[in-house]
Amino acid sequence: MFKTPTELKYAKTHEWVKEEDGLCVIGLTDFAQDALGDIVFVNLPEVGDEVTSGESFSDVESVKAVSDIYSPVTGTIAEVNEELLDNPALINEDCYNAWLIKVNDVTDSEELLDSEAYQEVCASEA
């Protein structure tokens, strides 16, 4: 059973979303980090870049795979978690604290799932 904290919202593409100080914080879920295996690098976008709901804004590398990360919202990147550049393993160790980006000026969002509904998505894909 994968961890899915109830205070977060989830995208079907395995990103978590949370509101914090008017910003939209995005990270990878426990299911995603488990499926990816040991993450060795995160290609982060730049502050000021636009993200679009449903489109890829970054990718993460494991030893022999690379996977896109999709943005559940449309907006402008206000912050990126640069700590991940030096220590991508944080995503494997503590994925719900290892946020990727914080988005400002959110104009659009895909329909997000709550913890329970997302558990079902995970169960169907496992």
Query: Is residue 66 a contact residue for another protein (CB under 8 A)?
Result: yes
Query: Is residue 126 a contact residue for another protein (CB under 8 A)?
Result: no
Sign of the alpha-carbon torsion through 90, 93, 96, 97: negative
Q: How far is the CB of 61 from another protein (least distance, A)?
A: 4
1 or 63: CB nearest another protein = 63
Chain length of the chain: 126
In 23-100 the beta strands, taken as DSSP E runs, fall at: 23-28, 39-43, 50-51, 56-62, 65-70, 73-80
Q: How far is the CB of 93 from another protein (least distance, A)?
A: 12
Contact residues toward another protein (CB under 8 A) are 38, 40-41, 59, 61-66, 88-89
